[in-house]
Copies of this chain bind each other. A is one copy, B any other.
Amino acid sequence: MSEAEDFTRVAHAAREAAAELAPLPRAPKDAALRAVADALVARAKEIVEANALDIEAARASGTAETMIDRLRLDEKRVESIAVAVREVADLPDPVGEVVRGSTLPNGLELRQIRVPLGVVGIIYEGRPNVTVDAAALCLKSGNAVLLRGSSSAYRSNTVLVEVMRDALRGTEVPADAVQLVPGATRESVKHLMRARGLVDVLIPRGGASLINTVVEESTVPVIETGVGNCHVYVDADADLDLALEILVNAKVQRPSVCNAAETFLVHAAVADAFVPAALARLAAEGVTVHGDERVAAYGDHVVPAGDQDYRDEYLSLDIAAAVVDSLEDAVAHIRRYGSAHTDAIVTRSQRAARRFVSLVDSAAVAVNASTRFTDGGEFGFGAEIGISTQKLHARGPMGLPELTSTKWVYIGEGHLRTSTGTVIAGDVE
């Protein structure tokens, strides 16, 4: 059977499983998730063995040790993956929630009810824990999932999916609700992207180039996640000590993540006071500053910044910087170069904060806080499937409700619509 046929078979099976899974109430879904968690722990050895083969192959092909560490699973890590699955089981079920409801003037009872999306496709890179995390979130929200992880983790993912499916066989959740996209080829991504009608939404999690490819080529609706070119703007009215702590935290606390700061902008009125202190502190923290001429005037170690520096995510101990003449210029810079993830202002001025919040068109806007707080865990969602930087459907951290759609239900007793209003045909006995 060709890979394309394999894919179609798997996608159809997921679609049927989704129809079976959608009407299930919470209890059987939670029981299934707990069975998955138990199986992961019970079969940890098998998982670690498969993972060792991935690691061996990665090492043989000269993969960097930091990447290999991301790929590695040991029994302790498998254990913590299982804990995360149990935490998802403990979260409230979004399905069935009545989002809005009323009795219409004509007596129709109208309700808008949360329902699963159907089949969710996840395309991701790196860590094999995503395989289980994503599957757990999809199952909990009543969705079937098609998983397409990185080819370097294909052996690990294959076993993880096998363990999950085996565990589901003893539950009310159909095993086919969790599927690995067959093959780890580039073609297998294409099958997913062209599966309109079989797959309801694609969520690419990874770098900008993966996401752009999916957005350009997919006929399945896409939710973009994860690219974060976040800014910290130090306003003319900022408490400069606070500004420095926020800037350093946003850049340094975890540079490899999407909510880390990649650029700071300083109002000209406080540049003399702020920029030298920032350059010294960032240097001490091991951060390279890529600045415009106005920033470079304050220090010898500033690397000249070009357009691309303002545009890219470094995801490293690098940061771009510029001096701006006004809050409006800061906003214009953010609109031009930003990725609409998270942008922060540091200011004591209520007016400046209000204006920045109103003008910056990003998924999250922070006032006197580090950009690092844009996170499903921090927001209290319990878990997140990613951080959406698009405007449709979901924006910002995506929890379980963002993995659902809604359905309108209206109940009458023979309600007919006429040109002048509603007529009731008769009474239901």
Beta-carbon nearest neighbor of A96 in chain B: B358
Q: B416 near A380 (CB under 8 angstroms)?
A: no
CB-defined contacts of A397 to chain B, threshold 8 Å: 408
Q: A367 near B411 (CB under 8 angstroms)?
A: yes
CB-defined contacts of A369 to chain B, threshold 8 Å: 108, 410-412, 414-416
CB-defined contacts of A416 to chain B, threshold 8 Å: 245-246, 249, 253, 369-370, 372
The yes or no answer to A115 lying at the interface (CB within 8 A) is: yes
Stretch at the interface among A166-174, A314-322, A387-395: A387-395
Beta-carbon nearest neighbor of A217 in chain B: B219
Stretch at the interface among A126-134, A146-154, A421-429: A421-429
Given A118-B391, A239-B426, check contact A365 B412 (CB 8 Å): no
The residue from B201, B348, B353, B412 contacting A367, defined by CB atoms under 8 A apart: B412
Q: B395 near A393 (CB under 8 angstroms)?
A: no
Contact count band on A: 35 or more
How many copies of this chain? 2
Instruction: State A335–B12 Cα separation when bound (angstroms).
Output: 13
Q: Which of A338-374 contact B (CB under 8 A)?
A: 348, 353, 357-359, 361-370, 372-374
Instruction: State A408–B415 Cα separation when bound (angstroms).
Output: 41
Beta-carbon nearest neighbor of A216 in chain B: B219
Q: B359 near A407 (CB under 8 angstroms)?
A: no
Q: B363 near A408 (CB under 8 angstroms)?
A: yes
The yes or no answer to A31 lying at the interface (CB within 8 A) is: no
Beta-carbon nearest neighbor of A245 in chain B: B425
Q: B239 near A335 (CB under 8 angstroms)?
A: no
Instruction: State A358–B372 Cα separation when bound (angstroms).
Output: 40
The yes or no answer to A92 lying at the interface (CB within 8 A) is: no
Given A362-B407, A408-B363, check contact A110 B221 (CB 8 Å): no
Q: Which of A108-122 contact B (CB under 8 A)?
A: 108, 110, 112, 115, 117-118
The yes or no answer to A378 lying at the interface (CB within 8 A) is: yes
The yes or no answer to A69 lying at the interface (CB within 8 A) is: no
CB-defined contacts of A391 to chain B, threshold 8 Å: 117-118, 200-201, 405
Q: A368 near B110 (CB under 8 angstroms)?
A: no
Q: A426 near B23 (CB under 8 angstroms)?
A: no
The residue from B245, B380, B418, B426 contacting A104, defined by CB atoms under 8 A apart: B380
Q: B196 near A417 (CB under 8 angstroms)?
A: no
Instruction: State A110–B365 Cα separation when bound (angstroms).
Output: 10
The yes or no answer to A272 lying at the interface (CB within 8 A) is: no
CB-defined contacts of A195 to chain B, threshold 8 Å: none
CB-defined contacts of A358 to chain B, threshold 8 Å: 22-23
The yes or no answer to A285 lying at the interface (CB within 8 A) is: no
The residue from B215, B365, B415, B429 contacting A196, defined by CB atoms under 8 A apart: B215
Q: List 14 A-B contacts (CB under 8 A).
A: A19-B361, A117-B391, A196-B215, A215-B219, A249-B418, A348-B428, A348-B429, A353-B411, A365-B409, A368-B413, A369-B416, A372-B416, A373-B417, A396-B407
